[in-house]
Amino acid sequence: MATGRTHRPATRSRGIPEATVARLPLYLRALTALSERSVPTVSSEELAAAAGVNSAKLRKDFSYLGSYGTRGVGYDVEYLVYQISRELGLTQDWPVVIVGIGNLGAALAGYGGFASRGFRVAALIDADPAMTGKPVAGIPVQHSDDLEKIIAEDGVSIGVIATPAGVAQAVCDRLVAAGVTSILNFAPTVLSVPDGVDVRKVDLSIELQILAFHEQRKAGEEPGDEQPAPPQAAAPVAPPVATRTTAEGGRKGPDGDVPAVMPA
pLDDT at 71: 80
| This prediction's pTM | 0.68
Which has the closest alpha carbon to 30: 84, 86, 88, 70? Answer: 84
Q: Confirm or deny that 161 is annotated as ligand binding.
A: no
Alpha carbons 176 and 263: distance in angstroms, whole number: 92
**DSSP, residue by residue, 70-95:** BTTTBEEHHHHHHHHHHHHTTTS-EE
Per-residue pLDDT tens over the stretch 101-142? 999 999 999 998 887 788 999 999 999 999 999 999 999 999
The domain of 107 spans 94-213
Statement to judge: residues 131 and 163 lie in one domain: yes
| 104 is an annotated ligand-binding site residue | yes
Q: Please check whether residues 114 and 157 belong to one and the same domain.
A: yes
Does 102 show up as a binding residue in the annotation? yes
Put the strands of the sheet holding 256-258 in their side by side order. Answer: 244-245, 251-253, 256-258
Indicate whether 196 and 105 sit together in one domain: yes
Q: Which distant-in-sequence residues (6+ apart) come within 8 Å of 29 by Cβ?
A: 51
CA-to-CA separations, 44 to 4, 65, 71, 131, in angstroms, rounded: 39, 15, 10, 49
Q: Pick from 50, 65, 88: which residue ends a domain?
A: 88
Rounded to an integer, what distance in angstroms lies between the CA atom of residue 172 and that of residue 4?
12
Is position 151 annotated in a ligand binding site? no
Identify the CATH number of the domain in which residue 31 sits.
1.10.10.10
Q: Tell me the backbone φ, ψ of residue 37, rounded to 5 degrees.
A: -95, 10
Q: Which of 97, 107, 176 is nearest to 144 (CA)?
A: 97
Task: Give per-residue pLDDT as tens, 31-61.
Answer: 999 999 999 999 999 999 999 999 999 999 9
Strands (E), the chain: 41-42, 75-76, 94-99, 119-126, 135-136, 139-143, 158-161, 182-185, 198-201, 244-245, 251-253, 256-258
User: How far is the C-alpha of 98 from the C-alpha of 115, rounded, in Å?
Assistant: 14
Instruction: Show which of 48, 70, 88 is a domain's final residue.
Output: 88
Q: Please report the pLDDT score of residue 7 as a whole number.
A: 39
